[in-house]
Every structure is written in structure tokens, then in C-alpha cells.
Amino acid sequence: MGSTLRAFLRDIGKLLHIPAGLAVLSLPVIIVYSEWFAILPFAGMALVSLGTGQLFFHVFKGGGEETSKGLSVMLVALAWLLISLFGTIPFYWIALTAPEGMYNQLPVFKTLVNSFFESVSGFTGTGLTMLENPSEIPHTLQWWRSFSEWIGGIGVIMLVSILLKLNHDEERLYRAETRKWQIKDAPFRATIYKIWWIYIGYTIISILLFYLVGMPFWEALNHGMTALGTGGFSVTSNSFTDYSTQIKAITVFIMILGAIAFKIHYLLIFRFDLKRIAKQTQLHYFFLFLVTTFLLLLWIYPQIPFIDLLFQATSALATCGLNTVDLAVWPMAPLFVLIILMLLGANGGSTGGGIKTVRFAWFAKGIWRSLKQVWYPEEKEAKVSLDGEVKDVKEMRNHIQQAANVLFLWVITLTLGTFFLSLMVGEEYTFYQVLFDTASALSNVGLSTGITGAGMPENAKYLLSLLMWLGRLEIMAVIILLISPLYLMKRKVSGREKY
């Protein structure tokens, strides 16, 4: 086995230590709420992940070369899948060991696929759930759901980069996790630290805001994490339906914070550079999409209160998944607007999902450039600007091509996902309901028209889990992971050892 591949597998071992750390951080909740039956499941997750990690780490000793870009992408794709697999353990084990009859919704997780689905939904920051009433499970699992979404919002690799030294270039891992921004003229690690400081600070502020306007502390703690992490899990029976207008308005503000790129937060907090903030193209697009579609919803569905329409539009565009209404009874037209918003998604480099507003900005500018080019002489290139700066031709073409690639892959995946889900759920649901839940899973949103739940077919649960994983990694990383064995085999046969 090549030294580079050994280094890659050893890094997998390092990564598998993360669930053990997350289990330790969950211990205070077990103690505070005296849910002692949860100690063994969390200890089991910690021991299994730690033991497996140590096994990989020691078996694949040797080879200290920095790994290639392709292996970095593979590590990121595997990281999200492996963390979700280990995160399944507390759901399943607690469901088997908790006192019978104490938690009405807990038996849902006695089915392994339900536990796996909930874990994938949490760590990918989606929020689709197997539960009808999340308030009827132990506090420990309520915390685990919210905590997984909070970690998913910032990113697994962002956590690993702070805690562990890997044989992968940190910048490659960071970019493989679909992030691009970096602080100019500063060590790369400084960017990661600044993002963490912003994220933790905003989380504390979100929790305090909820608590100060009357939300009970436990609900404020969980909702502060999931709203900012644009996750969508709730600890109440009806998400945000029963909260006051004031709480809903604050939630809209927090969801927008989570959906805005960390670069913009950095410019505001650490630079207070309002001029550069005002020039951020994807910020313009985000608010253009939000305001336009909100006014459209207000026009086509005026029966719904103003704050609820704004809440749902924001939740869809920010890919948060919290709700204040029952979407199962909404007519087709407003649901179609929400589908568009879910696909558009949040800013690139934020906690949100979807295709991302920055890609739509590049795609739109590419179309406009093509139109302008018709009137230019052949030897002259039409210019494109982003964030107030004219981009050079090579960079411009690269960004436009990447945006077109992602859009194409998203459309293909959405089409296939909708087709297969419609086959799996049968004729019970309408086409637009199937399309809605498929788009919600792929864009890591968490809103549902009623299809997603413990009663859906088992194969449909695996399909939506796959779509959530694909969406979190923006599809390309998973494709690279799937074709990598063929590529690595080809390199081995050709006698080239470096990967």
C-alpha cells in the first residue's frame, strides 16, 4: 500500500475520534436531567468511535506525505458519512434502553433506518425528521439532534481542522467542504479561527435573544443552535407555530444571520468595512430573492399572516426548515415558490445549503456576458464584475463553468430523486408534494409537505438520506468518492504511487 494512501487511512482514524468528543460534551445534559439510561449509549458511541479510530491510526502507521486534492475531497465526503453513522448509535440504543412508556415518540428510533435518517438529517443540517412530536423524546436526544445540526452548520471539517493535525492541506479540506473565502495576507488557520469565533458568538447571542423575549431556556438553547445553524430541528410539538410574533421576527433575523456568508460577518465585526459589505454581490442576490418571493407569496396567498409568510420565505431561502404553518395544506402555487427558494439557497460560505446565491450570481452574469459578447469584436472579451471588482478572463470563465456544472448536477439529481421517490411513495401524494420533499432533502432545508416521517417506505428513507448527504457536499464530492476506486486502481496499475 502506498505511503500516501496509508496517511489517508490514518487520517480517517483521527477523524473517528470526533464522535467520542461530541459524546463527552453531551454528558452535562444527561446529568442535569438525570437521564442515566443515556450514559451507556453515549459511552458506547464514544468507545466504538475511539476504538475504531485508534485501530485505523495504528494499523496504518507510516507514510507522512501530504495527500493530494482528490484524497482530500474523498476524506471530506467520507467524514460526513462516517460521523452520521456513529451519530446513529445514541438514537437507536437509547430507544432500546429507556424506560418503557415514558417517552411516546422514542419507539420510532427502535427501527435502525429511522435512527440513521435522523442522524444524517442532523449532521447535514437538514432537519427532516422521523418524529411527529419532538417534545416526547428524552432531553438528551433533543440535545443530540440540535447539537448535531449546530456542528453540521459550521462543518465537520471545520471542527477537525481546529482539533486535529491531518496529513491533508487544511486549505484543500476547507475548499473541499465547499468554502472559498480566506482572510487576505493571513495564515489560513486564522480564517478558521475567525469563523469559529463568529459562529460561537452568534450562537450565544441567539440563545440570549430567545430567552430574553420569553422562550424557556431549554427551548432557547436548542432553537438558538438550530436557527443559526440553519438546521430546522425543534424541541416543540409544532416547531415555531405557537410562539409570539416577536419570537418569530427574531427567528427570521437569526436565520438570515446563518444564511449570510462568514466573509460578510468578518467584514462587519473585525473590519467594520461597510463599503465592501455593500458591494457583496451574493448579499444583493439573497435579499433580492427574499424580498421578491415574499411579495409574491403575499400576493398569491394573502390568507396567511404577514409574519408567517416572511418566516416561511426566510426559512426556505436560508435552508433552515423551521416552520410556523402546516405546509401539507398549502396550495400548489405558494409551495412552488418555496421550492424555488429552497433550490436557490443561502450564501456560499454560510451555514446554509441549496445551490447558493453566489452560483446564481455567476450564472446570471455568464448569461449577460454572452449577450454582451455578441456586440463585441471577436478579439475582445466582455468583462464581468463581482463584489465591485472586474474579474480576469480565466477566473471569470472558471467561476461560470463551476456554477453551470453545479446547476446541471443539481437539476439531474433533483429529477432522478423526484422520480424514484414518486415510485416509492406511490399515488398517495401529489407530484408537487414529492418534488417539494425531494428539493428539501437535496437542499438541506427540512421543510416537508407531510411525506417525510416514520411511516414512509424504508427505501424512501434511504433515498432521502442519500440526497441529504449529496446536497451537503454539493454532489461533486460524492461523485469523486464513488469513482475514486477506479482512478486509484488505474494509477496503481500504471505504476504511479502518488495520489
pLDDT over 90, % of the chain: 67
* Average pLDDT along the chain: 89
Given 380, 405, 430, which residue is the final one in a domain? 405
Shared domain for 166 and 292, answered yes or no, is: no
Shared domain for 106 and 192, answered yes or no, is: no
Residue 4 lies in a domain: yes
Answer whether residue 151 shows pLDDT above 60: yes
Residue 346 lies in a domain: yes
Residue 104 lies in a domain: yes
Shared domain for 210 and 293, answered yes or no, is: yes
Instruction: Supply the pLDDT for residue 375.
Output: 76
Instruction: Supply the pLDDT for residue 499.
Output: 46
**Degrees to nearest 5, angle at CA 483 with 479 and 488:** 140
The angle that helices 69-97 and 458-472 make with each other, rounded to 10 degrees, is 140
Answer whether residue 495 shows pLDDT above 60: no
Instruction: Supply the pLDDT for residue 253.
Output: 97
Shared domain for 207 and 325, answered yes or no, is: yes
Instruction: Supply the pLDDT for residue 330.
Output: 94
Instruction: Supply the pLDDT for residue 287.
Output: 97
Instruction: Supply the pLDDT for residue 306.
Output: 95
Q: Sign of the CA dihedral 315, 85, 145, 448?
A: positive
Instruction: Supply the pLDDT for residue 58.
Output: 83
Answer whether residue 67 shows pLDDT above 80: no
Shared domain for 123 and 216, answered yes or no, is: no
Answer whether residue 179 shows pLDDT above 50: yes
Shared domain for 43 and 78, answered yes or no, is: yes
d(CA 16, CA 75): 12
Shared domain for 147 and 201, answered yes or no, is: no
Residue 366 lies in a domain: yes
Do the beta carbons of residue 115 and residue 137 sit within 8 Å? Answer: no
Q: Sign of the CA dihedral 337, 339, 340, 342?
A: positive
- Segment 306-357, tens digit of pLDDT: 999 999 999 999 999 999 999 999 999 999 999 999 999 999 989 999 999 9
Instruction: Supply the pLDDT for residue 288.
Output: 96
Q: Rounded mean pLDDT of 240-250?
A: 96
Q: Sign of the CA dihedral 219, 80, 177, 159?
A: positive
On whether the pTM is more than 0.85, the answer is yes
Shared domain for 50 and 166, answered yes or no, is: yes
Residue 395 lies in a domain: yes
Q: Rounded mean pLDDT of 418-441?
A: 95
Residue 416 lies in a domain: no
Between residues 49 and 63, the one the model is more confident about = 49
Residue 199 lies in a domain: yes
Instruction: Tell me if residue 384 falls in helix, strand or coil.
Output: strand
Answer whether residue 376 shows pLDDT above 90: no
Given 179, 203, 218, which residue is the final one in a domain? 179
- Segment 68-88, tens digit of pLDDT: 677 778 888 888 899 999 999
Shared domain for 109 and 216, answered yes or no, is: no
Answer whether residue 191 shows pLDDT above 70: yes
Instruction: Supply the pLDDT for residue 354.
Output: 93
Helix and strand element counts for the chain (H, E): 22, 2
Q: Rounded mean pLDDT of 244-263?
A: 96
pLDDT over 70, % of the chain: 89
CA-wise closest residue to 210 among 172, 252, 175: 252
Residues counted in the chain: 499
Shared domain for 307 and 292, answered yes or no, is: yes
Shared domain for 242 and 204, answered yes or no, is: yes
Given 179, 196, 219, which residue is the final one in a domain? 179
| Residue 300: other Cβ atoms inside 10 A | 13
Lowest mean pLDDT among 65-79, 85-99, 123-137, 423-437: 65-79
Residue 431 lies in a domain: no
Answer whether residue 117 shows pLDDT above 70: yes
Shared domain for 37 and 80, answered yes or no, is: yes
Instruction: Supply the pLDDT for residue 181.
Output: 66
Domain count, the chain: 2
What residues make up the domain containing 158?
1-179
Burial of 330 (C-beta count, 10 Å sphere; 0-12/13-18/19+):
buried
